[in-house]
A = this chain, B = another copy of it.
């Protein structure tokens, strides 16, 4: 049990942070530290999703190694990696989060991002009348994550968006302005103080494939499936591999996450490796948040569709070839080149970025001082349950709605029914 439970636990605000994958932990680590340092807060930690899976490197162990107490570990991933299993994992996750929340009785649940595991936690908390704070709301992207993110916002009672645009979008979506507590992604905090301690040995003691010399130029590839185009992911990753094979530059590739289609990507990588035994490709399962960011800070070019290529790579000025539409619509800075998931386009993008070299640092996604602000917000916010679309608290303009109604109806109704409808309308 969490040591913080002792002492004057009764009076502390119980803040339950949910971690559902390696990337979550990478971003939230500064927040966890900041929460534990606040005497008014008691940290509760739930590790779920791929955090607890050996197949994904058992990242929960990193959390424990860093000295955090993990209050609940839950297993929610149904094997299969199809859209149907993804839906069922979501359903199962709601059940399991409900059990944990019933046990831990948090005052606030803190979620980050847009994964279905986070959505499941939001649903469980909301239906159990627990106040929710959400980090990274209001962003725009592709895949089903786009809808999941906004749905989480609709259940969240407080928001910590990462960019000014996101904050603005949340307000436009009807979230109460007072519920939006500051701006910035906490991963910028790690980036800000990052010391480069990583060595080639760290990389070469993990994963499989030929050794990598990180003192020489190398590439980093992370490519996840895009659920909304399930079935196309194999061809897409083969496009990346073809472009890489042409370049023959030493490359570190991380295995994909667990979304629908991931098994197809993994299979394509394994087949490529078994067929061609590439001397330049090393595959890894899991890295600590710091080591991942150190790699990202140092790599010649990052290739793929991880959202960290948009956020964190910008802070480092690392060139990125962003492949496909998984991040479509997300705010990016100039370090990013968008390409379609086709070998020729990826090659062209790679050549362009390698020629350009590093970019200036961008603080679009945070100034490196975010976690303290979030922790302060968690201390000062007032938990409440009943949300309402904020529009109703603004000036009433019923007259205008009536015109809009006419507009809508007119636009849609054609032919012989239209007149009748118009007559029937008030």
Contact = CB atoms under 8 A, between A and B. Distances in A.
Contacts of A372: 417
Contacts of A82: 75
For the complex formed by this chain, how many copies does it contain in all? Answer: 4
Interface residues of A, number: 114
Contact of A87 (B80, B124, B424): B124
A81 B372 CA distance: 38
Nearest to A129: B83
A426 interface: yes
A409 B377 CA distance: 11
A382 interface: no
Nearest to A127: B87
Given A147-B387, A151-B155, A87 B94 contact: yes
A320 interface: no
A395 interface: no
Chain A facing B: main interface SS: helix
Contacts of A120: 91
A163 B401 contact: yes
Contacts of A128: 83-84, 86-87
A238 interface: no
A392 B167 CA distance: 14
A78 B363 CA distance: 40
Interface string A412-425: 11000100110011
Given A228-B385, A405-B183, A94 B98 contact: no
Interface in A217-276: 227-230, 258, 260, 263-264, 267, 270, 273-274
8 contacts: A53-B263, A168-B400, A169-B391, A173-B173, A173-B389, A180-B408, A363-B426, A369-B420
In the complex, the 8 A-B pairs of residues with the closest C-beta atoms, listed nearest first: A91-B94, A164-B405, A164-B401, A151-B151, A87-B127, A91-B95, A367-B424, A75-B80
